[in-house]
Amino acid sequence: MKSIQFLCLILLLSFGAKTQEINLIPEPVTLLKQSGFFNLKPSTTILLSNNDPELQRLGRVLAEMIGTPTGYRLPIRTGTKTTINAIVLVLEKTTFQVVGQEEGYSLEVGRNKIEIKAQTTHGIFNGLQTLIQLFPKEIEANAVQRVAWNIPSVSIQDYPRFAWRGMLLDVSRHFHNKAMVKSYLDQLAKFKYNTFHWHLSDDQGWRIEIKKYPKLTSVGAWRVPRVGKWWKRPEPEENEATTEGGFYTQEDVKEIVQYAKDRYITILPEIDVPGHSLAILAAYPELATVPKNFKVNPGSEFYRKVENSLDPSNDKTYEFLDGVFTEIAQLFPHPYIHIGGDECYKGYWETSNNCKKLMEKEGLKDTKELQSFFVKKVEKILQSKGKKLIGWDEILEGGLAPDATVMSWRGTKGGIEAAKMGHNVVMTPSDFCYIDLYQGDPILEPDTYGKLRLNKAYSYEPSEGIDSKYLLGGQCNLWSENIPNKRQAEYMTYPRALATAEVFWSAKDRKNFDGFAKRVEAQFARFDVAKINYSRSMFDPIVALVDKQIQLNTEVNGLDIHYTFERGIPDNFYPKAKNGDKIPIPKGADQIRVVNYRDGKPIGKILLISIADLEKR
Ligand code: TNX
């Protein structure tokens, strides 16, 4: 009898051991694995250290997160009496003596209880996200699952490296509705993002109700329906119905701001001016240097051919912006408003008499200084609403506004320069942080601009060349020219947003790509349960022409590469290459097919590319 009990115990422990895998993203500052696990039962109590209303809310949030997939209705109690079989949330002012302490937390999982301690409810919230990631993946389900709810014993101390951990979503190029935005925020919160940069206006659509300027949405939010290659789509026809688009009412915005706040995410609204303003001009043509019958752009080529910049010499422009920013400032609690400032085409300013006159009067030597004049005036408008200005790094050109913060996207130099001048910076260099770019071979991916693989996104080091005093943090950006829907938004966001989450949260010395890739894969399984899309492009072959030979590579370790120059579909019986091998091109070869295998199973897509294409690259 004894030996059977013993056997059962061994089985139980080994079952427990199987669930012991810990795959947290972002990686915590310190993590100590211990033996054993906590088993969650229907009787497990959520114990809150005090009556703080927000702590109480978080207790209910936790009960709900656990309730749906487990089917358990965990009781919630308040008190300090030590208990067993409890998840204890302790809000106390004992300080972490570290940077980012406001968001820090400790998490102890023992056999008898789980305890999260933090000095702020934001810290508690972060601890909860980590705790959920320690659960079996089925915790992500939205219906009851039958699994043992074991949580591996562990001791974690954690806090962020940077205070600003952002994600931009462009809702102009393609409109993404309220439900999509909420779902997107749900995911961001899991990876400890705390800033949602909402790109609300651009040439292809204005997306937020402004009561004072109703045409912004009745006209500016709608365009003619088009599909096809972005920038090559047929232009709007005269009198064609504008049926594609959408916008958020102010009630929607309030709801989303609150939804984000409940997840410890603040929303940074962006109104992109003075360039990228075609949707504004479609609604209010009088704000252009030469008013015309402007049309919201449907993805056709127009840059430089059609004016898309506001007239900086017109008082009405500033009156308009004052009206818009009054309402924006009231809707969004974020201390900043993003005014864009990027890629402003100034060709029409150059030929405008009013602009020339203004430049002469103000002693502005070129249109870059004219844009700087504009931005400085906008900064005053924002300040009058109690807001700080942030803009893309173009706002450096022609002179930076006195208190402006710079978002560095054209590489890192804008950020470096601004920080040297004593301005705050947020880093989002396109070659590391633009998740609208190709994540695998362009032949296998939807059209976009440049390339950004997962390992490159992961390799980013934000502090290079920048005094940490001015470095607020960074973000990654999902521009949506080629993001028609939620599934594609998720495909482009994950896994690269996991890399960025770690870049901006985790300690520098904890970074390790191989370990990260393994954790990403575990996260994929959780996404599957949560029905969130993601890209598996990190498993795809990488093919290049080097020294007149074909070089084969993989992005992650441990894959076998199989290939053929003949007309067959390669599998693991075909020739095998090692990572980095260079293969001579056989005479007459016009194409190569490559596929990766792992442990005898195909993984990733089959890549077919012509030698001619490779030569062109
Ligand atoms: C540049 S980043 C832009 C966006 C595009 C993006 C595409 C920035 C400030 N401007 O308008 O969508 O590239 O990658």
Give the per-residue pLDDT at 100. 53
Three-class SS of residue 222? strand
- Is 202 a residue of the active site? yes
Segment 171-183 shows an average pLDDT of 98
Q: What per-residue string of b and e applies to 271-307 under the rule 16 or more CB within 10 Å gives b? A: bbbbbbbbbbbbbbeebbbeeeebbbbbbbebeeebb
Q: How far is the CA of 269 from the centre of ligand 1 (A)?
A: 16
- By C-alpha distance, which of 312, 315, 311 is closest to 290? 311
Strand partners, 280: none
User: How much of the chain, in percent, has pLDDT values that exceed 90?
Assistant: 94
Choice from 201, 342, 392, 431 to test ligand 1 binding pocket (greatest atom count within 8 A of CB): 342
Q: E-assigned strands of 29-79?
A: 30-39, 45-48, 76-78
The catalytic position among 174, 199, 276, 423 is 276
Q: Is the pLDDT of residue 2 over 70?
A: no
Q: Is the pLDDT of residue 11 over 60?
A: no
294-308: per-residue pLDDT in tens? 999 999 999 999 999
Name the token pair of 490.
């998720």
Choice from 200, 343, 478 to test ligand 1 binding pocket (greatest atom count within 8 A of CB): 343
The amino acid that residue 4 corresponds to is I
Give the per-residue pLDDT at 457. 98
The catalytic position among 240, 343, 366, 431 is 343
Q: How far is CA 145 from the centre of its chain?
A: 30
554-569: per-residue pLDDT in tens? 999 999 999 999 999 9
Statement: the pTM of the whole predicted model exceeds 0.85: yes
Q: Is the pLDDT of residue 491 over 70?
A: yes
Q: How far is the CA of 479 from the centre of ligand 1 (A)?
A: 7
Q: How far is the CA of 427 from the centre of ligand 1 (A)?
A: 14
Q: How many helices (H) and strands (E) does the chain have?
A: 18, 26
Q: How far is the CA of 342 from the centre of ligand 1 (A)?
A: 8
d(CA 425, CA 405): 6
Higher pLDDT, 97 or 397: 397
Give the per-residue pLDDT at 94. 66
Choice from 303, 431, 479, 492 to test ligand 1 binding pocket (greatest atom count within 8 A of CB): 479
Q: How far is the CA of 231 from the centre of ligand 1 (A)?
A: 13
Output the average pLDDT for the chain: 95
Segment 120-149 shows an average pLDDT of 97
Name the token pair of 268.
């940074």
Give the per-residue pLDDT at 463. 95
Nearest CA to ligand 1 atom 10: 342
Q: Is the pLDDT of residue 439 over 60?
A: yes
Strand partners, 37: 152
Nearest CA to ligand 1 atom 8: 342
Q: Is the pLDDT of residue 10 over 60?
A: no
Nearest CA to ligand 1 atom 2: 409
Atom of ligand 1 nearest to the CA of 340: 9
Atom of ligand 1 nearest to the CA of 392: 9
Q: How far is the CA of 504 from the centre of ligand 1 (A)?
A: 21
500-546: per-residue pLDDT in tens? 999 999 999 999 999 999 999 999 999 999 999 999 999 999 999 99
189-236: per-residue pLDDT in tens? 999 999 999 999 999 999 999 999 999 999 999 999 999 999 999 999
Q: Which residues contact 411 (CB under 8 A, 6 or more apart)?
A: 429, 430, 431
- Over its C-alpha atoms, the chain yields an Rg (Å, rounded) of 27
Nearest CA to ligand 1 atom 5: 479
Q: Which residue ranges form the domains of the chain, and what is each CATH number?
A: 2-158 (3.30.379.10), 164-530 (3.20.20.80), 540-616 (2.60.40.10)
Q: E-assigned strands of 224-342?
A: 244-245, 266-273, 336-340
Nearest CA to ligand 1 atom 6: 479
Nearest CA to ligand 1 atom 11: 479
Q: How far is the CA of 195 from the centre of ligand 1 (A)?
A: 19
Q: Judge contact between 159 and 107, C-beta under 8 A.
A: no
Give the per-residue pLDDT at 17. 46
How confident is residue 4, by pLDDT bands cut at 50, 70 and 90?
Answer: low
Atom of ligand 1 nearest to the CA of 276: 11
Atom of ligand 1 nearest to the CA of 481: 12
The catalytic position among 202, 393, 441, 502 is 202
The amino acid that residue 543 corresponds to is V
Q: Is the pLDDT of residue 399 over 60?
A: yes
Q: Is the pLDDT of residue 182 over 80?
A: yes
Atom of ligand 1 nearest to the CA of 173: 12
Atom of ligand 1 nearest to the CA of 434: 14
Atom of ligand 1 nearest to the CA of 170: 12
- Is 343 a residue of the active site? yes
448-482: per-residue pLDDT in tens? 999 999 999 999 999 999 999 999 999 999 999 99
Give the per-residue pLDDT at 98. 53
How confident is residue 5, by pLDDT bands cut at 50, 70 and 90?
Answer: low
Q: How far is the CA of 123 from the centre of ligand 1 (A)?
A: 33
For 586, which DSSP code? P
Q: Is the pLDDT of residue 311 over 50?
A: yes
Question: What residues flank ligand 1, with Cβ below 6 Å?
Answer: 342-343, 392, 409, 434, 436, 449, 479, 481
78-110: per-residue pLDDT in tens? 998 878 999 999 998 765 555 457 899 999 999
Q: Is the pLDDT of residue 26 over 50?
A: yes
Segment 336-351 shows an average pLDDT of 97
- Is 52 a residue of the active site? no
How confident is residue 9, by pLDDT bands cut at 50, 70 and 90?
Answer: very low
Q: How far is the CA of 566 from the centre of ligand 1 (A)?
A: 41
d(CA 492, CA 473): 22
Q: Judge contact between 255 and 208, C-beta under 8 A.
A: no
Three-class SS of residue 424? coil
